A and B are shown apart, each in its own frame.
Chain A
Amino acid sequence: MSDKINFSKEIIDVIAKQDSTIGITGSPSTTLDIEIDITEDKKTERALGQMVFVMLNEDGKDVLVIGQIISVETQNRWHEDPSFKGVIKRHGKLPHLSGTADNRIATISVQACYALDANEPMGHILGTSPSTGENVKKMNNDVMKALVKKHEKHITYMGKVYGTDVDLPLWFKHFDKTNNDELGANDAYHIGVFGKTGSGKTVTASYMLLGYTKNKNNLSVLVLDPQGQFYNDKDLLPPRGQKFEDRVKASGMNFNKYEITKDVYLPGDKYELFGELLQNNKFLEEAFRPLYTEDKIEAAKNVIVDYLRGRSNKPGFNLGSITDSKKLLEEMLKRFLEVKDDEEKKIGFSKYVYGIFGTKETRTRLQSRIKSISENIDRQTGILSKWNNALYLFTQKKEDNTNKVSVDDIVDKIVNNNGNFVVLDLSPKKGEIENENLQALFVSIIESKIVEVGADLFAKGEKANCLIVLDEAHRFISKESSDPRIKEFTKEIIGSVRTTRKYGIGYMFITQTIESLDNEILNQMRIFSFGYGLTSGSELRKVSEVINNKSAVQLYKSFIDPSSNNRFPFMFFGPISPLSFTGSPLFMEVYGDISMFS
């Protein structure tokens, strides 16, 4: 029935009723930036950030042009004249000229144009610059609603046009073709949400994710949560006390959250990872003390990994199959003390002890230490606890004997199935995960698995259609990091963002700083969301490079610290709104109350 509705005519009718002229199209104007001369009666009204529209005629068609005012300038020729400056200096303002003779010139960044000659408004690119003298009117919710009426159910409202009361329509398309009445972009988008602490980036990202949950028949979402903020559902949605989980469930998506140290078991063949865990929880330092240098700790880790790899030659052995962790420790320590083959006999130590220290004295000392632990194993509570904790991450049963889920299960939920929203808590736990290095390792394991399964699907002509969210991405993506694990993971991510779009896998990076992300990642991003605070020289340069619009960057710079007024302004750039197809940024203040979200 909808094809009988003349949406264009409805828009024209609504526009005809508006008398909110703010200015007149001026000169010079282009198809992307339109100058307007603000009318006298509107000169004291807020103009910056206003969304405005103007009806033009092009090729005999009515064309509705929508844009946002990104700069306003006051001009007064008398105040610019050097002679009059002398007068002002001594007498203050110029009677009848100061204020009265002001001209305000605003620049509109064109966001979208629609040709209104057919039943439905059709996206249009201005083919010629607008004539001067056309009425430019303030956008309001009546016009906006009429404009997006056709796509009403696909629209997400998560904020108002910056400095106005107009709700800004956004759309969050899944990454495949439009299907089951859910809009598809037919391309996976990588997304960046940037902003300093307190800028509202987590709330904004949460709103965006809720926008994506409108695609329950096509999309799944995985949140890798290094701070546990999504897992604990803490302060994600305003006002305090609102639950993100409830909102996701209300959308019809399945919500699952897992704590990686308790609910998920890691692949049993990841001996290197086990070694890293022992290194990380200080097991090595305590068990084999004294280990004075990082080299020695690394060497101790390597001999344990070697030992376990050796054991894995026997079918059925892996870290997930261990039923008696103390016994495994005892067996390992025993082997470290044994001198078995000719080679070991020749050197007088097991190859494992030999692998850690270089002198006879130090090796003998280590042997004594290992012997002491072995003989008093039950009294070594600290060592045993660390060993058990690390191994627990690989066991398939929880302490209450219920089953854990595997990384493969999670990846399956996300990549092979739609409608799943999974939060994976990677937050630091004392004795288990204590630094970004390990978080990066976990993320790396999951991420590589996702890419692997995504590639398989792609080979079969299907798409994964999933969004991987990396909160606090700067923690584990940094080319400059001194940590080799993070460096390596950064390389992996760069490789992934290059290739996974075609698999239908999109990444959302939530981070405090745009500088932390590699240029390669930025180059692959399609949607940017900039909150308050990226104003240092180098960060602003990055933002400018992305936006390539001086006036827009100026407006971004004018954002006020949200802590002073509890308003959260954002600059969005990319295909996120029916109003953003010219590639100009959109300025928005996200809602301070989830009840307004729709």
Chain B
Amino acid sequence: MDQQNKNSNYAFLPDDLLMKMLDKVPDTVGKMNGMFDVQDEPIKKGIEELKNKGLINKITSKEHTTSLIAVDGSNIVEKMTGTDILLAMGVGVEGLTNGETVGWEDNKNQYYQWQTVLPHGDANARLIQGIMFLMELSVLAHASHEVRIMDGNHMTPILKINSMLSAKDENAGPEYCSALTEFLKETYNKIIPDIPDIVSAAFSNENIVAMVKYSSSRDILESHLKDHKDIRVDDKTFFSLGLAQDEYTKPLSVGQSKDENRIWGDLHIKCNLDAIKEKDELNKEFKKVLEKIKTKDYKGRSKESEIYFTYYKPYDDGPAYRIEIKKGIANNLPKLEKYLLSIKNQIVFPEIREPYPQYLVDLMAKSIAMGLFSIQEAIRLSPDLKIDRGKFNLLFNYRT
């Protein structure tokens, strides 16, 4: 209360609060300095060692393609007083081209969207998130473009689809499962047992690469530079500081370090929803689909995942990017370099830090908020809406 106006027992909000925050800025800057206090020497040594191990390459290829897209999605659960509106979308956009574009053929959707209304339920968010990832995977799998950027990493869709199908602990009941069935039918004319196919189509497609915007992984540092204890930053920061322009790390299978290997080894999708009669069959199918990307076989023995990753630094002044690729690309360096160069050509640094289509698609996906607002208004204004005057309040959000 020391900053509070002395003539009043009540703070001038938010001004007083803001003043307090500003007062703390020097402390925050000090802490930040500590984190940025990365010595050049350890980084140099680390990079040197990786080079000696043959783990760092430089792009020599000139070949690239503009047949490139990025895909993203978004979802919302709008908690209204009487019900929840669920809304999800998955969308893809093309990158910068030299005039010619590939486009989307008639039978290959550039986007999917789906919406429904469910009674209040904690599991609703898990349902719509899982649906969003199914949409993203479908857009990625069905496009015709040579390079297709998935937003994030390969692991997240698996986690979210698993979460969707294992929401028993949050009382996901028949209505929840009916909504999922309805989504699959409306969107793809598919049924629940087809979900593994949707996942498989994307995870086995070499054209699909994953680019994560934020990563705290220390997979390489923990596995190949174990002795460099003085490097305390994450892999992405390390390579951002250490790599030169156009250098990239030799593609390695995910799960190089002990911790990450365990995580990739434990990956699973296990349906526990009683309302889904085919859940056992479904789980068997998921096991098969995930077998290739896990770091353990069905007997628990260690093995390589078919998902690889590389760190690539396209510009001297810019960051390094973690890019996940399929085994086929990892083992085909000319093709890998073509992909990397194609991604480089989509980066308009410094205005946009991620590849242009990834930035653009993010904006497109975020427009879902506007979509939800429109849906709500249209519902409230619909002449077909049958609701008693006294219950009209149920159409509004539970909070202002």
Question: Is the CB–CB distance between A82 and B351 below 8 Å?
Answer: yes
B94 at the A/B interface (Cβ < 8 Å)?
yes
- Give the distance in Å from the alpha carbon of A83 to the alpha carbon of B360 in the complex: 10
List residues of chain A with CB within 8 A of the CB of B17.
Answer: none
* Beta-carbon contacts under 8 Å, A69-88 to B: 82-83, 85-87
**Does A96 lie at the interface of the complex (its beta carbon under 8 Å from any beta carbon of B)?**
yes
Task: Spell out B's residues near A (CB within 8 Å).
Answer: 93-97, 101, 348, 350-352, 356, 359-360
Complex-state Cα separation, A97 to B356, whole angstroms: 13
Task: Using CB atoms and an 8 Å cutoff, list the residues of chain A in contact with chain B.
Answer: 82-83, 85-87, 90-91, 94-97
- B93, B94, B101, B356: the one contacting A87 at CB < 8 Å is B356
Question: A240 CA to B112 CA in the complex, in Å?
Answer: 66
Whether B348 lies near A90 (C-beta < 8 A) is yes
Shortest CB distance B31–A (Å): 29
Q: Which of chain A's residues has its CB closest to B357's CB?
A: A95
**Chain A residues, CB < 8 A from B93:** 96
What would 9 more interface pairs be, CB under 8 Å, given A87-B351, A95-B95?
A: A83-B351, A85-B351, A86-B350, A87-B356, A91-B348, A95-B94, A95-B96, A95-B97, A95-B101
In the bound complex, do residue A91 and residue B359 qualify as a contact, i.e. CB atoms below 8 Å apart? Answer: no
For residue B353, which residue of chain A has the nearest CB? A83
Question: Considering residues B94, B95, B351, B352, which has the most beta carbons from chain A within 10 angstroms of its beta carbon?
Answer: B351
CB pair B352–A87 under 8 Å, yes or no, is yes
A82 to B352, CA, bound (A): 10
12 A–B contacts from the bound complex (CB under 8 Å)? A82-B351, A83-B351, A86-B351, A87-B96, A91-B96, A91-B348, A94-B96, A95-B95, A95-B96, A95-B97, A96-B94, A97-B360
Shortest CB–CB separation between residue A511 and chain B, in angstroms?
A: 54
Do the beta carbons of A83 and B359 come within 8 Å of each other? Answer: yes
Name B101's closest neighbour in chain A (CB-CB). Answer: A95
Cβ-defined partner of B348 (8 Å) among A86, A95, A96, A97: A86
Q: Is the interface of A mostly helix, strand, loop or mixed?
A: helix
Give Cα distance in the complex from A179 to B350, angstroms: 77
Residues of A near B101 (CB, < 8 A) are: 95-96
Compute how far the CA of A94 lies from the CA of B364 in the bound complex, rounded to whole angstroms: 14
CA distance A105 to B348 in the complex (A): 31
Considering the complex of A and B, which 7 residue pairs feature the smallest CB-CB distances, nearest first?
A: A86-B351, A87-B348, A91-B96, A83-B351, A95-B97, A83-B352, A86-B348
Q: Point out the residues of chain B lying under 8 angstroms from A90, CB to CB.
A: 348
Closest to B103 in A: A96
Chain B CB within 10 Å — which of A82, A85, A95, A96 has the most?
Answer: A95
Check A86 against B352 for contact (C-beta < 8 Å): yes
Distance of A419 Cα from B101 Cα, bound (Å): 72
A243–B107 Cα distance when bound, in Å, is 69
How far does the alpha carbon of A86 sit from the alpha carbon of B359 in the complex, in Å? 13
A30–B360 alpha-carbon span in the complex (Å)? 35
Distance of A82 Cα from B351 Cα, bound (Å):
8
For the complex, what is the distance from the CA of A96 to the CA of B348, rounded to whole Å?
17
**Assembled-state Cα–Cα distance A94/B97 (Å):** 9
Q: Which B residues are CB-close (under 8 A) to A82?
A: 351
**How many Å lie between the Cα of A64 and that of B340 in the bound state?**
61
| Docked pose: A567 CA to B79 CA in angstroms | 62
Complex interface: chain B residues within 8 A of A91 (CB): 96, 348
* Alpha-carbon separation in the docked complex, A86 to B93 (Å): 18
A90 to B359, CA, bound (A): 16
**What's the least CB distance linking B180 to chain A, in Å?**
32
Q: A385 to B92, alpha carbons, bound, how many Å?
A: 95
Whole-angstrom distance between the alpha carbons of A95 and B94 in the complex?
8
Within the assembled complex, what's the spacing in Å between the Cα atoms of A95 and B103? Answer: 10
Alpha-carbon separation in the docked complex, A90 to B352 (Å): 12
Give, as a whole number of angstroms, the nearest-CB distance from B123 to chain A.
Answer: 36
